[in-house]
Amino acid sequence: MKVKDAIKLLKENCNPEEEIIIAWWDRSCFNRMTDNEWSEATEAGDDMDWSSTQEDLTMAIEQDN
């Protein structure tokens, strides 16, 4: 996802005064990726199934309580 697209989604869907949980990885998080490798990585991220993320966070919160 491009940064400009993420900003647009946040502006359209979030109250700027509320807190959210957000995670991102930019190219600097990875060692020596070529332009092609980075392009493939971002496409893989777009295609990943993130549906269990909320369940994982809920379990982590419940373990702390």
Q: Which domain holds residue 37?
A: 3-64
Q: What is the pTM of this model?
A: 0.66
Whether residue 65 is predicted with pLDDT greater than 90 in this model: the reply is: no
Residue 37: the pLDDT is 94
pLDDT digits (tens, 9 = 90+) for 21-56: 988 899 999 888 999 999 999 999 888 888 899 899
Task: Reduce the secondary structure of the chain to three states and give it as a string.
Answer: CCHHHHHHHHHHHCCCCCCCCCCCCCHHHCCCCCHHHHHHHHHHHHHCCCCCHHHHHHHHHHHHC
Please, which pLDDT band fits residue 19 given cuts at 50, 70 and 90?
A: very high
Residue 31: the pLDDT is 87
- The count of structural domains within the chain is 1
